[in-house]
Amino acid sequence: MRIISGKNRGLKLTELRKGDSGVRLRPTSDRVRESLFNVLQNNLDFNDLVVLDLFAGTGALGLEAISRGAESVTFVEKAQVCQKIIQKNVELLNCSDRTRLLSKDATKLSPGERCDLVFLDPPYGQGLGELALKSAISKGWIMAGTMVIFEESKKIVPNGFQLTDSRKFGGTTITFLTAL
């Protein structure tokens, strides 16, 4: 797993090891991340973006945004093993001044700042993505115009969002949404 583009292009990220217990992680592959960010790059200027990375896992999506110029990223991850990996990856990119890590359940957020871009990569098929979106909206993280990248096993368009694009990669569907 590596940073695809930007200031930290090619940097290898710390990954979850097979011996790390208690977590079933399905990191977004380099190929899917590269395709996702190619679509975003054609539609967004990453400079000065405020990003929220829900169910952050290794932090690869948020860190890719930082490498491409995002102003800040807030990672939300409740698994301690993943939190340690995110911290190591933030150190690798030397971007602790532009990131923060919330040790929380992504479906039970505290009040926060409005974000321009939200990455949402919940465990598949459990309805957690929709719950996290409701929490993010009710706590002020998502407002009209916020772009949400929702990774699931199938295309999901929750109420209050407009579908802007959808891409399928094997068993993964990336749905591009805009909050209404």
Q: Span 125-144, mean pLDDT?
A: 97
Model confidence, pTM: 0.93
What's the order of all strands across the beta sheet hosting 147-152? 99-102, 72-76, 50-54, 117-120, 147-152, 172-179, 161-169
- Asked whether residue 10 is domain-assigned, the answer is no
Residue 90, helix vs strand vs coil: helix
pLDDT score for 160? 96
The separation between CA 174 and the C-alpha centre of its own chain, rounded to angstroms, equals: 12
Q: If you search the block for the tokens 């949404």, which residue do you land on?
A: 177
pLDDT digits (tens, 9 = 90+) for 23-42: 556 677 778 888 899 999 98
- Asked whether residue 16 is domain-assigned, the answer is no
Strand partners, 174: 151, 167
Structural domain span for residue 146? 30-179
Q: If you search the block for the tokens 């109420």, which residue do you land on?
A: 159
Q: Span 118-129, mean pLDDT?
A: 95
pLDDT score for 31? 82
- Asked whether residue 9 is domain-assigned, the answer is no
The CATH number of the domain holding residue 97 is 3.40.50.150
pLDDT score for 30? 75
What are the structure tokens assigned to 73, written together? 């990223």
Strand partners, 52: 74, 118
- Asked whether residue 155 is domain-assigned, the answer is yes
Reply yes or no on whether the pLDDT at 66 is more than 70.
yes
Q: How many domains is the chain built from? A: 1
- Asked whether residue 172 is domain-assigned, the answer is yes
- Angle at the Cα of 1 from the Cα atoms of 80 and 35, rounded to 5 degrees: 115
In b/e form, how buried is each residue of 100-113, taking b as 16+ CB within 10 angstroms? Answer: ebbeeebbebeebe
Closest CA to 20 of 96, 88, 114: 88
- Asked whether residue 8 is domain-assigned, the answer is no
pLDDT score for 28? 76
